[in-house]
A and B are shown apart, each in its own frame.
Chain A
Amino acid sequence: MAGRDDMTATNADAAAGAGAASVPALEARGLEASWDGTPVVADVSLALEPGEVSCLVGRSGCGKTTLFHALAGLTRPTAGQVLLHGREVTGVPGSVSYMLQKDLLLPNRTILDNVCLPLLLSGMPKRAARDKAKPLLSRFGLEECADRWPSELSGGMRQRAALLRTYLMDNDVVLLDEPFSALDAITRGEVRSWFCGMAAELGLTALVITHDVDESVMMSDRIFVMRGNPQAHVPSMICGVVEVERTCSAAEAQDAGFDLTPQFISAKAAVKELLGS
């Protein structure tokens, strides 16, 4: 509960400071994290601009998820800082929202009650939580599913529910770890376009972790490329940042055929070169 109060204060600070200089929504400074005692990422610095969708791309096993845990405050980094709107939140879980490849919907709660979870956990009475979440269901295309069990929904619908739950965590920064990887190719494109539209509409700052280069170029303004081989004791680092020159919004990218434009191809080539493939 204390964390929540801190949050609103932080947002207010950020709003006040926004006029003076642009403070990144989320910033990592010299972050170093290890997993099971082995250093996995070293000296990672990155900044997410408010309202932007960025991607973090790296090969499987390069430590994306370890970095993700450190950014989300689930593990304490061995060195460095995480700043949310300029305020230190290193090792504090709950300052940013997060979402995984697995939707992590609780099987014993209906979709509405799953979505309400962050509200219930913060102490809001059940009725008030439901009243707050219900109007949002239709915005997320879930109005028919309020009283269904998660097992009755398709993978795409479940991810939408997971995103609505993430949204109700009431943080303006969202970390997504391979959020669409469990979906089939067609659904993935749809959910991704829908997510980008939603993120723009809600003004979310998002960092999407993915190993799919095409996906990263399709959906983000900026791509952080991570490279290294922690298994061979070479900690991963951010080896470059690619700015994507967009010809249309990320939500329209799929329909507008952004993946056929020279801008897409040059960004993809730049990412691939940084990845060393």
Chain B
Amino acid sequence: MAASGTQGPHAPQRAGRTPRAGGPSHVRRALVPTFTILGLIAIWQAVVDFGVIQRFLLPSPTDVLSALVGDWALIWEHAQTTLVESIAGLLIGVAIGFVLAVLMDRFEGFYLAMQPLITLSQTVPTVAIAPLLLIWFGYGLAPKIILIVVTTFFPVSVSLVAGFRSTDPDVIDLLRTMHATDLQIFWYAKLPAAADQFFSGLKISATYAIVGAVISEWLGGQSGLGVYMTRVRKSFAYDKMFASIVVVSALSMVLMGLVEVLERLCMPWKRAERKHQ
């Protein structure tokens, strides 16, 4: 009897704390954002349906959905162009970023020479340089891909250089005592040490790639979601404009998802590390 009396005041406190113990549960983590998004869409729908905002200024979610379905064939055709440009630009950008990072890590002089130039390249506004690229390289894929390369190589090279430099010098010493060559030190120690940061950079680059493609298409071209957007804008078809925005967002997220899958495949040890920390 006495025991239950002393436990009394503590019991409710403990009960209140338990559900939070290990952070939000999986269900909670999935439900909260889902309901937030659904709630916002519902408000949006209501605002348009009840005439708070005129329909021709802001189409409702159902309008957007019907535009997306109705114009799907055309949107998908344009989306393919955007996707091809983005992936080509991203691959080339990542390759260039990788080579630059390796050279910058290997040669101190190259690092000192390139570091300000690389940073400078990111301060140039894309909207200003895109029309010039169109004049120089025509209205085809080339200027778009070049623009994407310029925007995507940067996050990759910066994150890789930082990653290479984060290698534990004691590990390098250890490998040296095992007679490792520079190439072996790179392969066994530096590359894995940089993997984490590389994938963070790659995720940023992947989103830049789609947005970069849309911007360059917007400024001139024959096909692509950016071209589609300029056309529907001129015909005041805002429902189609929103439909293409949905597709751009979806493409960006799919690309980021692919990077995440790639990260998991390349770094199987991370899962164990998370579990044991």
**Chain A residues with a Cβ under 8 A of chain B:** 1, 3-4, 69, 72-74, 93-94, 96-98, 100, 102, 104, 106-109, 117-118, 121-122, 148-149, 151-152, 169
| Residue from B175, B178, B184 having most chain A Cβ neighbours under 10 A | B178
A257 to chain B: closest CB distance in Å? Answer: 36
B259 to chain A: closest CB distance in Å? Answer: 18
Measured CA separation A151–B171 after assembly (Å): 16
Q: A102-B170, A121-B184 are in contact. List 8 more A-B contacts (CB 8 A).
A: A1-B179, A104-B171, A106-B192, A107-B192, A108-B192, A108-B269, A117-B178, A121-B175
User: B176 on the interface (CB 8 Å rule)?
Assistant: yes
| Residue from A4, A73, A151 having most chain B Cβ neighbours under 10 A | A151
Measured CA separation A97–B176 after assembly (Å): 11
The total number of A-B Cβ pairs within 8 Å is 66
In the complex, chain A residues whose CB is within 8 Å of the CB of B273: 107, 149, 151
Measured CA separation A108–B268 after assembly (Å): 8
Determine the main DSSP class of B at the interface with A.
helix
- Nearest B residue to A162 via CB reads B174
A-B contact pairs, 23 of them (CB 8 A): A72-B177, A74-B173, A94-B176, A94-B177, A96-B177, A97-B177, A102-B168, A104-B170, A106-B188, A106-B189, A106-B192, A108-B195, A108-B267, A109-B269, A117-B175, A117-B178, A117-B188, A121-B175, A121-B180, A121-B188, A122-B178, A169-B177, A169-B178
A100 to chain B: closest CB distance in Å? Answer: 6
With A102-B170, A106-B192, A108-B192: A149-B179 Cβ-Cβ less than 8 Å: no
- Nearest B residue to A107 via CB reads B269
Measured CA separation A102–B168 after assembly (Å): 11
Partner of A94, one of B178, B184, B188, B267: B178
- Nearest B residue to A108 via CB reads B192
- Nearest B residue to A98 via CB reads B177
- Nearest B residue to A75 via CB reads B173
